[in-house]
């Protein structure tokens, strides 16, 4: 398989899984392992294409971002609460990411850890779906209480373990704290903007000096494909989880994790 084709496939995978509770990082790690690539060679690529998913959220929710920006200039309470909630939820990831960055990078090469995280996360989703009782409707991201926003940020840190899923941790964590499904999903989408941006800038500052022109071309291809894919996935995802919940994603995680462990054992 050529590097260009691999970049296209990984870009599609990133766009498909970034905002689903199935772990995009875990999928990219397993995919590079399955394709027989050296994890270290594709580690920066897998992180560098994440801004494509961020751009998809900005495009899809541009009116929300625009209204918040205007509201900040007018010192509107709703806009201030929106930004406050995202910042306090983002802050724990900054602290742990800087403190344990090297350990996190080491875990990124562990495909078996990804499989176990997928399985355990799937069981956790089923448990939360059964016992959590979030309201049918909510006040939106700006209406999430400050304490709940902080708790969501702490839960997001679990996603530093590859295979856990950042979107899964934040969405299901928010539901466990009493946030309705739609608001939980949108909180996760908006929180991805500072979180993924920060992670990408950090990794590129750390490893970007070694990138070649060919590397940048592959990143561009993967990003473009990921952006288009994410545009479609996010719109469908909100409609799906509002109607049928997260159980199908949980069973998918469990099946994929089990299949991955079996494949690793037979290699």
Residues contacting 201, CB < 8 A, separation 6+: none
Round to whole Å and give the CA distance between 96 and 71: 31
Round to whole Å and give the CA distance between 71 and 80: 8
> Tens place of pLDDT for every residue, the chain, 267 residues?
687 888 898 889 888 888 888 888 888 888 888 877 766 667 778 778 888 888 888 998 899 999 999 999 888 999 999 999 999 999 998 898 877 767 777 777 688 999 999 999 999 999 988 887 777 677 789 999 999 999 999 999 998 888 898 888 999 899 999 898 889 989 998 998 888 888 778 777 776 666 777 778 888 898 899 999 998 888 788 777 777 788 889 999 999 999 999 998 887
Question: Can you read off the two tokens belonging to residue 39?
Answer: 């994890």
Could you state, in order of their start, the residue ranges of all structural domains in the chain?
A: 3-266
| CA atoms within 13 A of residue 2's CA, in its CB half-sphere | 5
Predicted local distance difference test score (pLDDT) of residue 137: 73
Round to whole Å and give the CA distance between 215 and 116: 31
Question: Can you read off the two tokens belonging to residue 93?
Answer: 């990831």
Secondary structure in 3-state letters for 148-193: HHHHHHHHHHHHHCCCCCHHHHHHHHHHHCCCCHHHHHHHHHHHHH
- Where does residue 225 rank: exposed (0-12), middle (13-18), buried (19+ CB within 10 A)? buried
Count CB neighbours of 84 within 10 A.
Answer: 14
Round to whole Å and give the CA distance between 154 and 90: 9
Round to whole Å and give the CA distance between 16 and 24: 8
Distance (Å) of CA 266 to CA 28, 33, 136, 259: 20, 14, 45, 11
């Amino acid at each position: 398989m050529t590097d260009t084709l691999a970049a296209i496939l990984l870009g599609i995978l990133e766009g498909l899984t970034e905002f689903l509770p199935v772990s995009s990082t875990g999928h990219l790690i397993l995919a590079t392992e399955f394709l027989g690539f050296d994890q270290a060679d594709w580690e920066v690529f897998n992180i560098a294409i994440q801004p494509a998913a961020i751009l998809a959220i900005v495009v899809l929710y541009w009116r929300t971002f625009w209204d918040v920006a205007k509201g900040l200039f007018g010192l509107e309470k709703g806009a201030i609460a929106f930004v406050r909630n995202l910042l306090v939820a983002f802050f724990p990831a900054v602290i742990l990411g800087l403190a344990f960055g090297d350990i996190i990078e080491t875990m990124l090469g562990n495909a078996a850890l990804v499989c176990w995280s997928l399985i355990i996360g799937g069981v956790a989703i089923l448990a939360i779906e059964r016992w959590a009782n979030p309201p049918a409707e909510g006040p939106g991201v700006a209406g999430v209480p400050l304490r709940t926003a902080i708790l969501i940020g702490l839960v997001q840190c679990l996603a530093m373990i590859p295979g856990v899923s950042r979107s899964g941790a934040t969405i299901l964590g928010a539901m466990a704290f009493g946030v309705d499904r739609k608001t939980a999903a949108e909180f996760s989408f908006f929180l991805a903007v500072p979180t993924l941006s920060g992670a990408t800038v950090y990794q590129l500052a750390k490893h970007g000096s070694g990138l070649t022109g060919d590397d940048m071309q592959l990143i561009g291809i993967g990003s473009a494909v990921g952006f288009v894919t994410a545009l479609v996935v996010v719109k469908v995802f909100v409609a799906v989880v509002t109607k049928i919940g997260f159980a199908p994603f949980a069973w998918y995680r469990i099946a994929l994790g089990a299949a991955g462990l079996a494949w690793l054992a037979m290699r």
